[in-house]
Amino acid sequence: MDFLDLPAVKTARGTVHLPGSKSISNRVLLLAALADGATEIRDVLVSDDTARMLDALQTLGVSIVKANDKVYRIQGISGHFPLKFPVGEASLFLGNAGTAFRPLTAVLALAVGSYRLSGTPRMHERPIGDLVDALRQLGADITYLGNVGFPPLEIKPAHIRASNIAVRGDVSSQFLTGLLMAMPFCAPDSNQEQVITVAGELISRPYIELTIALMARFGMHVEHENWRRFTVCAGKRYRSPGEIFVEGDASSASYFLAAGAIGAGPVRVEGIGRDSLQGDVHFADALIKMGARITPGANWVEARAPASGYLQAIDLDCNHIPDAAMTLAVTALFAKGTTVLRNIASWRVKETDRLAAMATELRKLGAAVDEGADFLRITPPAGPLATHAVIDTYEDHRMAMCFSLASFGTPVRINDPNCVAKTFPDYFGQFSAIVQA
């Protein structure tokens, strides 16, 4: 459908079982494909982004059996130096899935084969030059097929050599994730230590912690010094853990937790808990700062509105929750005072320029918004939200999901609601099930 009209609602109450994490699903799918042995992966996210990874792996000749919608059995290729996939020449279309495009670029650049990687027009606007520069330090042969520094890419067989490399950390953590996952394939000797040095600030560190934790599940250990210098042993093989479960998506949890904080609650999300691997689970801490009442469990988190009934504005460095911070921007419409979200420059190179898009759409609802290079300052309107706002989503799933929360103040129209298929196809059905007029 072209648009979805959401009526004004007042309260939220209920339980939501989260879909699988996109970040975990795509990492585990690739690691399982590279590993020695078969891996059964349960609770895989069913979405466009994971479909792109699965399609790519099957095109590369990886054996994948679908047991049901959320369970896949992958026979790994027992990857080792020199890395070879069953199919040595292929063209891969990866949509707008950064969690597929960046790691696959790194792995295929160190493989013996000829590959072309392309995506949507927006994917071709998202930078990849820092990753390519780092891979070229290892001898990779990568050619830009369009604008320099951006996809699409052509990768050809090259003489890969062990070498300590450096990569910028302030554009996308996915560059470092891809390099870490690929490092075992750059040398034949398991005693050869590969060192990656991060230049500049490392943004979105929790996503790197996630990558390292999942690599460890497949028997590959990464050492680091103050998150600046990372060491991986080359020449080792990933080993299948046999079975692995995908956590619920912590970024998706943020919309429902915010709904509970805005709309009285309680709203409980199941699939993540106090020991979650994902950084966005700390979105709940931001809600606590705003006054919300949060109760965590082993595999669930519950949110209620403040006892006072009013959320309070916050001033927060959001480097540790870059995706969930978008939810805070809309939650700020229901908080007393001016909310400032800092250290979010990475928003500009996501599915859209999220800083500009968020500022534009918040203003439609009557908010005063100051958009900086790496921050947003948001003051809600003194009175009710502007009525009958039409929210553009810029082909960005998170814009659509975030702005559903505006319906706690006014009816809203969400343009292109189907963009949520990227990570959460049933989002609006789940949202409507917990809200009441």
Strands 193-199 and 229-233: antiparallel
Among 62, 47, 154, smallest CA distance to 96 is for 47
The tally of CA atoms less than 13 A away on the side-chain side of residue 96 is 19
**426 assigned to active site:** no
How far is the C-alpha of 328 from the C-alpha of 318, rounded, in Å? 10
> Which one is catalytic: 49, 323, 392, 396?
323
Q: How many helices (H) does the chain have, and how many strands (E)?
A: 12, 26
82: left (phi over 0), alpha (psi -120 to 50) or beta: beta
Q: Is the sign of the CA dihedral 62, 67, 72, 74 positive or negative?
A: negative
- Do 237 and 78 form a contact (C-beta atoms < 8 A)? yes
The verdict on whether omega for the bond into residue 152 sits within 30 degrees of 0, i.e. cis, is yes
* First-last CA distance in the chain: 24
Strands 3-6 and 335-336: unpaired
Enumerate the active-site residues: 323
